[in-house]
């Protein structure tokens, strides 16, 4: 299972959030679930991340790296992909580098944070 994370969205980014959801569904297919994780649940203006869970995919057979990176660059948002079995995250930061980097031994709770 993998989880794709796009971040950070602000409360006024509703259109960008919808574009992101549509993009993921059109390129990768319907996720098994979509979660919104807010930095502060009590603050209606809190920033948040979008998480897309795909139970049948693994990082080894994932074929959409360029698509995710390209969308993140165009939208000026960050993207990360987490493999639940290996606890490896691949991360793309549009304003830092032009390629993915990898972090190992990442706990899912840390991956989900804003």
Q: Give 80-111 pLDDT, tens digit per residue.
A: 999 999 999 999 999 998 899 999 999 998 88
Q: Give 58-74 pLDDT, tens digit per residue.
A: 999 999 999 999 999 99
The Cα 26–Cα 72 span in angstroms is: 15
Give the domain range for residue 99. Answer: 2-112
The Cα 97–Cα 90 span in angstroms is: 13
The total number of structural domains in the chain stands at 1
Q: List the one residue out of 77, 8, 12, 15 whose CA is nearest residue 39.
A: 8
The Cα 44–Cα 49 span in angstroms is: 14
């Amino acid at each position: 299972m993998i989880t794709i994370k796009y971040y950070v969205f602000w409360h006024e980014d509703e259109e960008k959030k919808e574009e992101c959801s549509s993009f993921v569904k059109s390129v990768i297919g319907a996720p098994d679930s979509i979660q919104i994780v807010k930095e502060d649940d009590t603050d209606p203006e809190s920033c948040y991340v979008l998480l897309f869970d795909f139970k049948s995919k693994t990082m080894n057979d994932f074929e959409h790296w360029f698509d995710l990176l390209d969308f993140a660059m165009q939208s000026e948002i960050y993207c990360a992909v987490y493999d639940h079995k290996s606890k490896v995250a691949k991360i793309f930061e549009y304003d830092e580098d032009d390629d993915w980097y990898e972090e190992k031994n990442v706990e899912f709770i840390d991956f989900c944070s804003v």
